Amino acid sequence: MMMPCPASLFPVQASPIKSLKGSWQMTVHTLPTSATSASRVLPAHEASRLTEGGDQAHIVLGDQTYTLRITRAGKLILTK
């Protein structure tokens, strides 16, 4: 099952600055985005479907084969 993953609409960058009184303040800047990156929806894939219920799957990209592994802690590891 594929589920949409919306792209971040408002990427920000935070910068700490020191005020005249010596205290620290955080300034937040909105980063510019292009119309295409803000409206792009990425495909999402259920990891257990890629591994067909197991804990490993091979993923081929060009002439390279990678191994996707689901750990006991539920994390994903992708290795060459």
Measured between alpha carbons, how far is 72 from 50 in angstroms, rounded to an integer?
Answer: 16
Cα distances (Å, whole numbers) of residue 32 to 4, 8, 35, 64: 23, 12, 10, 35
As annotated, the residues of the chain forming the CATH 2.10.70 domain(s) are 46-80
Q: Does the CA dihedral 38-62-67-54 come out positive or negative?
A: positive
- Asked if 21 and 62 touch (Cβ cutoff 8 Å), the reply is no
- Asked if 24 and 17 touch (Cβ cutoff 8 Å), the reply is yes
Top-tier CATH class for 46-80: mainly beta
The pLDDT tens digits for 16-73 are 666 666 666 666 666 666 655 667 899 999 999 999 999 999 999 999 999 999 999 9
Q: What is the pLDDT of residue 14?
A: 59
- Global confidence as pTM: 0.51
